[in-house]
Amino acid sequence: MSRTVIPTAQDLGQQAFEAARRCGVDVAAVAGDAAHRSPVNGRSLGGVRWDASSAVDEAVARAQVAYRQWRSVPAPARGAVVKRLGELLAEHKEDLAALVSYEVGKITSEALGEVQEMIDICDFALGLSRQLYGRTSVSERPGHRLMETWHPLGVVGVISAFNFPVAVWSWNTAIALVCGDTVVWKPSEQAPLCAWASAGLLRRALEECGAPVDVSQVVVGGPDVGEALVDHPGVALVSATGSTRMGRSVGPRVANRFGRSLLELGGNNAAIVAPSADLDLTLRGIVFSAAGTAGQRCTTMRRVIMHTSVAQELTERLVEAYGRLPIGNPMTQGTLVGPLIHQQAHDAMRAALAKAAEQGGSLVAGGERVLAEAAPDAFYVQPAIVTMPGQSDIVRAETFAPLLYVMTYDDFDEAIALNNDVPQGLSSSLFTRDQAEAEVFVSADGSDCGIVNVNIGTSGAEIGGAFGGEKETGGGRESGSDAWRAYMRRATNTVNYSGELPLAQGVDFSV
């Protein structure tokens, strides 16, 4: 079901820049010659300014100077800045969410949810600012104290992707700031207004709290800017979100200069549906995870592994639900599926559908482009369902679009093997009412992913849990739990208060 009212380029551009202005962006200062296209209508929002790669050197230099001051500020005082940022985000939630919709095409409820994630991580980081705990150990030497302490790391480079243009920055920045680090952000080229608005709100929070404003830097530009940030010797940690292909380049380059990297890369996420599954709940979980954000989340569900006893009924119900999905202008109330980000995403989806057919797949729902007459320069698609005889090469590859592969299993061990038999390892889910199956799935013998869910879909992580995955997903962890340790360095301290000098392991070196 498609919705044909698509805003004009003039209306959309004016609305976007007005929303940015209300968030504190100096619109005149960010104007430029770089084309800036909205996926909502495929037309330009207006020209913006891009920075040259040389701007990275300047940004890192400013961040390094600010770091020397910021690292000495008590962590609870650093937390006060993040608290104020959360308050400002709440005040400007609607405008920032609107920018997310204008620039990357998210439906309003998901855009608002993304800004809420930013607010939530500020709450989390505020509490964390009083909980950067080390530990004390027992020394084998009398009159000695052995302990571990954690210290700020330095400048953190953040590279974010279009699909979460503001939330991923906030996950990194809120944690990095309370840890005493400074941040240089290279946002997605698709969402510069989102970046300038977010950074402007942080700058206001820093000013109001009397903190050095240079702890936060933004460099907007193309791949050359990202490469300069990755290679810069003054960047202690590079936190990069994107494709596995991107991660294969970033990881070795950062390692080559002995920097640290935190990689959040591709996903190829599956749901196992057991014979005992509540199919009403399962249906809702699958449809949101597979079709939400037009299939453009790293946690998007791309595979459903159904027990043969429920396969026919669930497939029929999925096909019927997909036929009712409202597709169109993401700002229209009731729309559930917005546009793909660009033509390349559409072409990749079409190519994947063709390969799936070559490898024995059968298209049972969707797959076609819609709204082409109303928005000839935008790319809206009907989310697709393809039944597959098994897990072929195309199924093992991530296609960043709403394309769901459905296959069957007979034995639970077989289902787990199918879940794990992909290069990626981000998110997974099991729908079951069998407690034993649930326990196996979350055990070492179950899913090999970083996120392992039972009776919920693969999307929709909360900020309290560490977010990330294994294998070609990169192994990084952001947001909650003890993810803060990635942004700090650990020191092992031995304090001798005995007045003597006994050596460890009983070594005698008397002179």
Can you tell me the distance from the alpha carbon of 2 to that of 42, in angstroms, rounded to the nearest whole number?
17
Beta bridge partners of 365: 385
The pLDDT of residue 4: 63
What type of residue is 476?
G
pLDDT surpassing 70 at residue 54: yes
Please report, for residues 129, 169, 454, the alpha-carbon distance to residue 199 in angstroms, rounded to integers and kept in the order given: 21, 10, 37
The pLDDT of residue 9: 75
pLDDT digits (tens, 9 = 90+) for 210-236: 999 999 999 999 999 999 999 999 999
Can you tell me the distance from the alpha carbon of 443 to that of 450, in angstroms, rounded to the nearest whole number?
12
Written as six digits, the tokens of 193 are 């207004």
Q: Which domains does the chain have, with CATH numbers?
A: 51-131+141-265+474-490 (3.40.605.10), 269-464 (3.40.309.10)
87 catalytic residue (yes or no): no
Can you tell me the distance from the alpha carbon of 487 to that of 71, in angstroms, rounded to the nearest whole number?
12
How much of the chain, in percent, has pLDDT values that exceed 90?
A: 96
Can you tell me the distance from the alpha carbon of 58 to that of 398, in angstroms, rounded to the nearest whole number?
37
pLDDT surpassing 80 at residue 1: no
Confidence of residue 35 (pLDDT cuts 50, 70, 90): confident
The pLDDT of residue 461: 87
Task: Give CA torsion, residues 134, 138, 143, 148, to 10 deg.
Answer: -20
Can you tell me the distance from the alpha carbon of 156 to that of 170, in angstroms, rounded to the nearest whole number?
13
- One of 117, 189, 264, 398 is an active-site residue; which one? 264
Asked if 396 contacts 269 with a C-beta cutoff of 8 angstroms, the reply is no
pLDDT surpassing 60 at residue 241: yes
pLDDT digits (tens, 9 = 90+) for 151-169: 999 999 999 999 999 999 9
Q: Residues 228-250: what's their mean pLDDT?
A: 97
pLDDT digits (tens, 9 = 90+) for 432-475: 999 999 999 999 999 999 999 999 999 988 999 999 999 999 99
**Which DSSP state fits 503?**
P
pLDDT digits (tens, 9 = 90+) for 276-313: 999 999 999 999 999 999 999 999 999 999 999 999 99
pLDDT digits (tens, 9 = 90+) for 67-108: 999 999 999 999 999 999 999 999 999 999 999 999 999 999
Beta bridge partners of 7: none
pLDDT surpassing 80 at residue 2: no
The pLDDT of residue 58: 98
The pLDDT of residue 3: 55
